[in-house]
Amino acid sequence: MSRVMESLRVLFGGTPRRVDKKDMPAEVREVHRQKVGDKERIAALRAELAHKAEHRPPEKKRRLRWTVLIAVNLLFVLSYYFDVQLLEGALTASRFAGFHLADLNSALQVMLAFKHVVINLLIGTTTVFIMWWLMGGRSFCSWVCPYHLLAEWAEMLHLKLRARGMARDIQFDRRTRTWLWLLFAALALATGYTVYETISPTGILSRALIYGPGVALVWVALLLLFEIFFSRRAWCRYACPIGLTYGIVGATSPFTVHYSLPNCFHEGECRKVCLVPHVLDTVIKGRAAAMEVDIGADCTRCLRCVDACPTGALSIKYKGLGDLL
């Protein structure tokens, strides 16, 4: 339970706590001590990383994730275009084969605004809650959200421009997302209007894909331009209430990205590719407080860290089933 509470504290914007070495178990301290003196393994690892930089392997899990994300959103489009009534609506609220589904953050906004719980909304919310609890963390962001995909492509451009000195990476307080979540909840309750849905890039893009583009896409374009030139993945990292909602839901999920201290040599490749590198604070040399650690609730389960890790220290686990990939 203490790990879950710490995971939620970091999700809400707190800085990951560092455990004093004297408070670590003796076996953990011994592993940290051995790694400092393992010069031969460190040299071999550096050679391995240099080879990897020259012969960069394909990110298979990233391609799989993109395929799933595009397929889910394309299913909405095709169902509407051909009027097959398989998947009706948009990501904010839909019906799959007649069964109601509701985005958790959108459903919360509606309940607060109308101060009334509709049975279909309750059914849809419960179904989606269970599904994303099983997936864990902020899986919705990486595997379904259309804005996440565009922002990921924008990030690739941002990194190229930044390497040439043509872009900046302004960092904001991560607690901003929590305050925005509370602000939009309060506005819905006070005004009777789902204010956040008017600016949600997730909802805007989902509706634009299905029903056609609208003027709201200008807002999405401005967000992407800001992220390309001024702040890497700013919306997802510092602002999006949807990500916070799903992070809370997935905090106790049995599905985790799992870290094994003995296998790690702290080369930092995982943190370079991570959207939310603070969740990988434990991989920094001398920081891990246990031999085995589950990565926290703010993890988007994009799995890029698993692909990037050259030593297999990061893996996917489902409690009760063990390693999955």
Q: What is the pLDDT of residue 325?
A: 52
List the end-to-end C-alpha distance of the chain, in Å, as a whole number.
Answer: 26
Q: Give dist(CA 137, CA 254) in Å, integer.
A: 10
Q: What is the pLDDT of residue 51?
A: 66
Kindly report, residue by residue over 261-315, the tens digit of the pLDDT: 998 888 888 999 999 999 999 999 889 999 999 999 999 999 999 999 888 899 9
Q: Give dist(CA 114, CA 95) in Å, integer.
A: 21
Q: What is the pLDDT of residue 315?
A: 93
CB burial readout 259-283, b (16+ within 10 A) else e: bbbeebbbbebbbebbbbbbbbbbb
Q: What is the pLDDT of residue 19?
A: 87
Half-sphere exposure of 95 (CA within 13 A, CB side): 10
| Residue ranges of the chain with per-residue pLDDT less than 50 | none
Q: What is the pLDDT of residue 322?
A: 55
Kindly report, residue by residue over 201-223, the tens digit of the pLDDT: 999 999 999 999 999 999 999 99
Q: What is the pLDDT of residue 324?
A: 54
The 3-state DSSP composition of the chain as helix, strand, coil percent (nearest 5) reads 60, 10, 30
Which residues make beta-bridge pairs with 234? none
- Per DSSP, the residues of 14-57 read PPPPPPPGGGS-HHHHHHHHHHHH-HHHHHHHHHHHHHHHHSPP
- Name 24's Cβ contacts closer than 8 Å, sequence gap at least 6: 32, 289, 290
Q: Considering only CA atoms, which of 314, 292, 284, 316 is closest in space to residue 35?
A: 284
- Name 81's Cβ contacts closer than 8 Å, sequence gap at least 6: none
Q: Give dist(CA 314, CA 229) in Å, integer.
A: 31
Which residues make beta-bridge pairs with 102? 93
Which residues make beta-bridge pairs with 323? 317
Q: Give dist(CA 215, CA 231) in Å, integer.
A: 24
Q: What is the pLDDT of residue 123?
A: 84
